[in-house]
Amino acid sequence: MSSLAAAPTDARTPADVRPAFAALVLAMLPAVLDQTVLATALPTVATDLGRLGDVSWLVTAYVVAATAATPLWGKLGDRNGRRPMLLAALVGFLCASAVCGLAQSLEQLIAARAVQGLAAGGLMSLAMASVGDLVAPRERARWQGRISVVFASATVIGPVLGGVVVQHVSWRWVFYLNLPLGAGALFGIRRWLRRTGGADASTPLDLPGALQLGGATVCALLACSWAGDRFGWLSLPVVALAVGCLLLLAAFVRRERRTADPLVPLELLAIPTVRIAAAGLFLATAALFSVTVFVPVGLQASAGLSPTDAGLLLAAMTIGITGATLTAGRSIARSGRLRRLPPLGCALMAAGLAGLALTVSSGSPLVVAALVVFGAGFGLTSQLLVVAVQNGVARERIGIATSTTSFFRALGGAVGAANLGTAFAALHQPTDDAVRDVLLLAAPIALLAGLVVLRLPADVDRSLAVAQ
* Any domain includes 6: no
* Any domain includes 294: yes
Asked whether residue 268 falls in the same domain as residue 408, the answer is: yes
* Any domain includes 4: no
* Any domain includes 3: no
Count of CB atoms within 10 A of residue 176's CB? 16
**Cα 183 to Cα 175: distance, rounded to the nearest angstrom:** 14
**Cα 333 to Cα 348: distance, rounded to the nearest angstrom:** 22
* Any domain includes 280: yes
Asked whether residue 270 falls in the same domain as residue 405, the answer is: yes
Q: What is the DSSP string of 141-198?
A: HHHHHHHHHHHHHHHHHHHHHHHHHHHHS-TTHHHHTHHHHHHHHHHHHHHHPPP---
8 Å CB contact between 310 and 119: no
Asked whether residue 148 falls in the same domain as residue 59, the answer is: yes
Q: Look at residues 415, 340, 351, 441 and name the one whose alpha carbon lies nearest to residue 381.
A: 340
* Any domain includes 215: yes
Asked whether residue 224 falls in the same domain as residue 288, the answer is: no
Residue ending a domain, choose from 145, 164, 197: 197
* Any domain includes 86: yes
Asked whether residue 25 falls in the same domain as residue 133, the answer is: yes
Q: What is the pLDDT of residue 51?
A: 66
Q: What is the residue range of 349's domain?
A: 264-468
Q: What is the pLDDT of residue 164?
A: 80
Per the structure, the count of domains in the chain is: 3
**Cα 162 to Cα 170: distance, rounded to the nearest angstrom:** 10
Asked whether residue 78 falls in the same domain as residue 135, the answer is: yes
Asked whether residue 109 falls in the same domain as residue 251, the answer is: no
Asked whether residue 321 falls in the same domain as residue 452, the answer is: yes
* Any domain includes 1: no
| Opening angle at CA 105, ends 100 and 106, nearest 5 | 75
**Cα 204 to Cα 122: distance, rounded to the nearest angstrom:** 20
Task: Determine the 3-state secondary structure of 227 from DSSP.
Answer: strand
Asked whether residue 159 falls in the same domain as residue 177, the answer is: yes
Which residues in the chain show pLDDT less than 50? 1-7, 9-11
Q: What is the pLDDT of residue 377?
A: 94
Asked whether residue 396 falls in the same domain as residue 323, the answer is: yes
Asked whether residue 233 falls in the same domain as residue 357, the answer is: no
Residue ending a domain, choose from 197, 215, 238: 197
CATH code for position 160: 1.20.1250.20
* Residue 220 CB burial class (10 angstroms; 0-12, 13-18, ≥19): buried
Name, in order, each residue with C-beta under 8 angstroms of 170's C-beta and a sequence gap of 6 or more.
none
Residue ending a domain, choose from 148, 171, 197: 197
8 Å CB contact between 438 and 294: yes
Asked whether residue 161 falls in the same domain as residue 306, the answer is: no
Q: What is the pLDDT of residue 39?
A: 67
